[in-house]
Amino acid sequence: MEAAMADRLQQIHVSPEDHIGTPGLEEAAYVAGWALSCSAALGVVLLVWQLNI
């Protein structure tokens, strides 16, 4: 049983080199979402500041 589990762990091992590369679509969407959220929040703050609401 332990030998089978050890073999399985060796098969699913992921090296750090597997994660190095260009960001994918999910990462780009995540960054774009944060950028839009921050822009909207900044816009609200500036609107309130300028209109003295």
Closest CA to 22 of 34, 13, 31: 31
Residue 31: domain span: 2-52
Task: Tell me: pLDDT of 18 over 90.
Answer: no
For residue 50 the two structure tokens come to: 């300028």
Report the pLDDT value the prediction gives residue 24, as an integer from 0 to 100: 79
Task: Tell me: pLDDT of 51 over 80.
Answer: yes
Report the pLDDT value the prediction gives residue 15, as an integer from 0 to 100: 64
Report the pLDDT value the prediction gives residue 31, as an integer from 0 to 100: 93
Give the total number of structural domains in the chain: 1
Residue 7 carries which side chain, given as an amino acid letter?
D
Distance of CA 21 to the CA centre of its chain: 14
- CA distance linking residue 53 with residue 44, whole number of Å: 11
